[in-house]
């Protein structure tokens, strides 16, 4: 009669821990997820199953990335990539490159991020990984949106959603629907945006996915702010902030605080807005997200402008513009340069 080998027992134990970690992630228990992934890695000590070890490393890195712990995430992604390269696991290489690209993107090097995504896309196609191809297409769409190329972003999101629908991946679809909602909002298509957010929220809620729920609530609140529905926006924003805080998600908290500052600014509570933005900047800096920090500086500048401090506003915007130019965020750079130009014209001697 056949018996299990010790290695089989270790891998089975590791997969049980991975399952627990995934449940903890969905429920917003990030610390528990990290602990479960560490238990999985401990169970695999001495194992020669490179692809499984690499997968656990990546998933643990994802938890750190969502918590804004970028350096820890990057170290785990690089370890995962090395494992996959050693065992010629093409699908794993694609996943690790995709993860590393997200880190590089957070650091603000959009050109290098795109190069890594393209490499990941080739490896994913070679290995026949439909889900991974959908994830990478989605990330390329986010990158295109950052650069202001909305048509290219829409094409990438459509390809991504088609890939997820093909394999019935609700989690992946919910992320794409959220990004489509953002894109439609930026394009001035509020009805399409609200429809996409509603679909994303329904899928996330049915899965108990607090990460996606928090993200959708924040982006939906931004849509409401654009429509001057401030009371509704504040409710959605606070709901997202609560979920992000429960998850220990520093970047989501920073994004919520940024949005809350806009609502406070619209209510002319400038001191509260500056306080929210100061807290958000600290979170973005700790997470090493240079693009978000620059976006927050733009918001700070707007508050100072509304307070009549145009010289201060111009100085803050100039700092943000330097970052946008450095990372290649062209649309943000153009918009910020226009703000500076308007301020200079208003303060020029007559």
SS percent in the chain: helix, strand, coil, step 5: 85, 0, 15
Count of the separate structural domains present in the chain: 1
How far are the Cα atoms of 131, 157, 167, 173 from residue 163, in angstroms, in the given order? 7, 10, 7, 9
Q: What is the CATH number of the domain that holds 306?
A: 1.25.40.10
Per the domain annotation, does 145 fall within a domain?
no
Least confident of 44-48, 231-235, 328-332: 328-332
69-101 pLDDT, tens digit per residue, is 899 999 999 999 999 999 999 999 999 999 999
Per the domain annotation, does 319 fall within a domain?
yes
Per the domain annotation, does 206 fall within a domain?
no
Average pLDDT over residues 239-253: 89
Residue 348 has what pLDDT? 45
Helix (H) or strand (E) holding 241: helix 230-247
Tell me which residue range forms the domain holding 342. Answer: 249-350
Per the domain annotation, does 297 fall within a domain?
yes
Least confident of 34-38, 39-43, 129-133, 284-288: 284-288
| CA of residue 211 relative to chain centroid, distance | 10
* Mean pLDDT (the chain, rounded): 91
Tokens 């401030």 correspond to what residue?
230
Of the candidates 23, 86, 15, 27, the one whose C-alpha atom is nearest the C-alpha of residue 55 is 15
Contact between 9 and 46 (Cβ < 8 Å): no
Per the domain annotation, does 183 fall within a domain?
no
Token readout for 49 is: 């199953």
115-158 pLDDT, tens digit per residue, is 999 999 999 999 999 999 999 999 999 999 988 899 999 999 99
Per the domain annotation, does 209 fall within a domain?
no
More confident residue, 281 or 2: 281
Per the domain annotation, does 166 fall within a domain?
no
Residue 286 has what pLDDT? 87
More confident residue, 38 or 246: 38
The count of other CB atoms within 10 Å of the CB of residue 115 is 14
Per the domain annotation, does 320 fall within a domain?
yes
Q: Is the predicted pLDDT of residue 191 greater than 90, yes or no?
A: yes
Q: Could you tell me the pTM of the whole model? A: 0.70
């Amino acid at each position: 009669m056949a018996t299990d080998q010790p290695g089989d027992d270790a891998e089975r134990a590791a997969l049980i821990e991975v399952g627990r970690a995934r449940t903890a992630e969905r429920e917003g228990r990030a610390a528990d997820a990290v602990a479960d992934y560490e238990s999985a890695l401990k169970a695999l000590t001495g194992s020669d199953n490179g692809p499984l070890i690499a997968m656990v490393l990546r998933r643990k890195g994802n938890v750190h990335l969502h918590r804004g712990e970028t350096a820890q995430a990057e170290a785990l992604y690089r370890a995962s990539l090395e494992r996959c390269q050693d065992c010629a696991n093409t699908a794993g290489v694609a996943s690790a490159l995709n993860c590393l690209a997200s880190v590089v993107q957070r650091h603000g090097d959009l050109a290098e991020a795109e190069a890594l995504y393209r490499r990941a896309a080739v490896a994913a196609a070679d290995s026949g990984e439909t889900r991974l191809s959908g994830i990478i297409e989605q990330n390329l769409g986010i990158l295109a949106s950052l650069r202001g190329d909305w048509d290219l972003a829409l094409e990438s999101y459509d390809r991504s959603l088609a890939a997820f629908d093909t394999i019935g991946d609700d989690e992946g679809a919910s992320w794409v629907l959220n990004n489509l909602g953002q894109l439609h909002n930026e394009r001035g298509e509020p009805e399409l945006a609200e429809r996409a957010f509603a679909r994303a929220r329904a899928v996330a809620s049915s899965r108990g996915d607090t990460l996606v729920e928090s993200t959708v609530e924040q982006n939906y609140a931004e849509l409401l702010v654009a429509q001057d529905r401030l009371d509704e926006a504040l409710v959605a924003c606070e709901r997202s902030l609560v979920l992000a805080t429960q998850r220990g998600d520093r970047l989501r908290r920073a994004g919520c605080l940024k949005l809350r500052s806009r609502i406070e600014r619209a209510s002319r509570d400038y001191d509260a807005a500056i306080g929210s933005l100061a807290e958000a900047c600290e979170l973005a800096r700790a997470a090493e997200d240079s693009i978000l920090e620059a976006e927050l500086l733009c918001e700070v500048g707007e508050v100072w402008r509304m307070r009549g401090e145009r010289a201060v506003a111009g100085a803050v915007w100039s700092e943000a513009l330097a970052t946008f130019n450095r990372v290649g965020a062209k649309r943000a750079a153009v918009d910020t340069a226009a703000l500076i130009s308007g301020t200079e014209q208003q303060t020029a001697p007559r």
